[in-house]
Each structure stands twice: as structure tokens, then as C-alpha cells.
Amino acid sequence: MEKPRIVSAAEWEHAREELLKAEKEATRALDALAAQRRRLPMVPFRTDYVFDTPGGPATLVDLFDGRNQLVAYQFMDTGPDRFCPGCTEFTNNIPPGALDKMAKKSVTWVTISNMPLAQIQAKKAQMGWTMPFVSSRGTTFSDDCGAGGGFMLNVFLRDGTDVYRTYHTYARGVDRLQFARNVLDLTPYGRQEEWEDSPAGWPQRPTYG
């Protein structure tokens, strides 16, 4: 396995300072994107879906749990007794206590899937997941969001009984929310996945391999 080249402390400090400039530029760019995101308009969204939840049938308004913002992750349905490895990894990534912190800002989290609720509940018990998890099976919610049979993160705002969609993202947009992957991006060998631009000789493997 190849390794980063060894240099003097002075050379390393210079290289680190050069990288820091690029990192600061990226941070400012992300701050600007967040500011632009907060200024997105919103679009009315249907509220007549009936989700299957452990507490019984619930509407989209019910999923807000009394708060005015809702973040909903659409977990892929890949068939009976099968679970998308990427969605499973993403769900495992949600830090303990994060949802309580979000709730203090009037943000509710819910994970939604077209899987039957019984399948969801069994997986939750197996994995020790504690976040709210509901079934959209039999509804057009996933299709109406544009997720179809895939995964997606949606953000909604509630005004009384009216609901609006303010944001959505998928693919690498969801990927950037993963704690472990973001930490791995700071390490010499990165995520060790074959799509990464790494020096020759760096360990790499297929994603989810």
C-alpha cells in the first residue's frame, strides 16, 4: 500500500496552509449555498396521503408532530426481506440526540418507505433504530416527490393545515450528510472507493463492495 510522501515540518505546514485556503473557499461557498437555499420559494404539496404508522393511520400534516418544519427521508423499497444498503447505511448514520436538537428548532424528522410497516418495524428492531419510521405503501407520495422507487430527502414547511415543499435532494446531495463519509474525506486514504481521485497505489474498492 502506497503512503503519502514524507516532507519536512516546514514543507508540510506550507502545503497545509495552501489546502486551508481552498477549504476556507469551500466553506464560504457552502455558506453562500445555504443562504441561497433559505431564499428558495416554496410550492404547495398534497396533504391527503394516509401513512401507516405504529400509532395508526396518519396524514402528512400529522407527521409534523405539531412542529412547522419536516425533514423526510424516503427509504427505498427493494422487495420483501430486502433492504437498500445505501439507505441502511444512511439511517445508521443519524447520530443519537440529533433529532432532539432539531426538534428544539421546530424541525421533525421522519423516515418514510413504501415497504409494509411490518417489514419496517422488524428492521427497526433488528437495527436498534429509534427514529420515526412510517410506511407510504399504497400512496403516491414517493412518486409525487419525484423519488419513484429511489431515495430522496425532502423538506416541508407547514402553515396551519397547508403544507409546502421547500427543498429536496438525492444522490450525492444526501451523501454529504453522512458523518462517517465526511470524516473519511479528511483521512489520507479517503473513502477508499474506486470513483475517488486518489494517487496511484491508494486502496480503493467498489462502493458498497
Q: What secondary structure does DSSP assign to 152-164, as a single string?
A: EEEEEEEETTEEE
Are 55 and 92 part of one and the same domain?
yes
Are 82 and 101 part of one and the same domain?
yes
- Tell me what pLDDT residue 209 has: 63
Are 35 and 94 part of one and the same domain?
no
- Tell me what pLDDT residue 19 has: 97
How far apart (Å, rounded) are the C-alpha atoms in residues 120 and 83? 10
Average pLDDT over residues 42-52: 97
Residue numbers of the domain that contains 23: 9-39
Q: What is the pTM of this model?
A: 0.90
Are 137 and 53 part of one and the same domain?
yes
Instruction: Give how many domains the chain has, as a whole number.
Output: 2
7: which 3 cell numbers? Answer: 516532507
